Amino acid sequence: MPDNYQAILHSAMTAAQAGGHVLQRYWHDGIELRDKSEFGGKTYDLVSDADLESQEVIARSIANDYPDHELLGEEDLTGDITAEHLWVIDPLDGTNNFAHHIGHFAVSIGYFVDGVPTVGVVHNPISGDTYTATRGGGAFRNSQPIRVTNADHLSKSMVGCGFYYDRGDMMRSTLAAIEEFFSHDIHGIRRFGTAALDLCAVASGQFGAFFEYKLSPWDFAAGQLIVREAGGIVTNAKGDPLGLTQSSVLAASTAIHPHALAITKKHHP
């Protein structure tokens, strides 16, 4: 692995810790929520000063180390996705959990070289867990190597899922897929509320598979590399390669991916 990936990883971890400190402060002091986008006149997509300030300190930290690199982030950070060096940032993945005082959320930072996922960091400031990966260098939780599950079939798996904010067709497709997963005798379904950590749950063998029918690049930028480096497969939920635009996502161990794909593809909205 080129040395500079280590330098980039160090930079990404420093930035993620800085964002995490901001989130910890707001977690203790409280936040004021605002609605972010509308779905049929109703609002479920929230944003707070915690999201904005976390992104600000992360962006400052990365720009300080790499002033020429492009930054793409959820809170209106509009980096060029075709750039040679691109950082993709979710300053708070799991805002809804945060808003309801559920201590399961994360900072997610992915670094791409010419569109290729190269470094990923997902940091949960409440548990203190930090998941990392570099391309070709393996995946780790708190510096300990992690691997996807050894289970070779859905019937031995826990499956994670997520719901996009839409409560229409996409929600119904997700529910239909969940029902079909249950018909394969899975051990259970979990919806933890942060896609970045859901992907890390696949990487560390807790989930046999995870799917969601619509995610943004900052949700999966880091987690996709962490899963692959832990020996898993990540595609969209139809089995195609993931890009840097909004997409469905399916992550699973190599053995489980084809079985999960048959279900997520069938119900894909």
Q: Is 93 in the site for ligand IPD (CB under 6 A)?
A: yes
Q: Is 212 in the site for Ca ion (CB under 5 A)?
A: no
Nearer to Ca ion, 139 or 221 (CB): 221
User: If binding means CB under 6 A, how many residues of this protein chain bind ligand IPD?
Assistant: 15
Contact between residue 195 and residue 243 where contact means Cβ atoms under 8 Å apart: no
> From the CB of 187, what's the least distance to Ca ion, in Å?
26
Q: Among 74, 198, 212, 229, which residue sits at the site for Ca ion (rule: CB under 5 A)?
A: 74
Q: Is 248 in the site for ligand IPD (CB under 6 A)?
A: no
> From the CB of 21, what's the least distance to ligand IPD, in Å?
18
Q: Is 232 in the site for ligand IPD (CB under 6 A)?
A: no
Q: Among 19, 73, 94, 125, which residue sits at the site for ligand IPD (rule: CB under 6 A)?
A: 94
Nearer to Ca ion, 108 or 204 (CB): 108
| Residue 163 site contact among Ca ion, ligand IPD, none (CB < 5 to 8 Å, cut-off depends on kind) | ligand IPD
Part of the chain binding ligand IPD (CB under 6 A), chosen from 61-69, 172-180, 188-196, 232-240: 188-196
Enumerate binding residues for ligand IPD (CB under 6 A): 74, 90, 93-96, 162-164, 193-195, 212, 215, 219
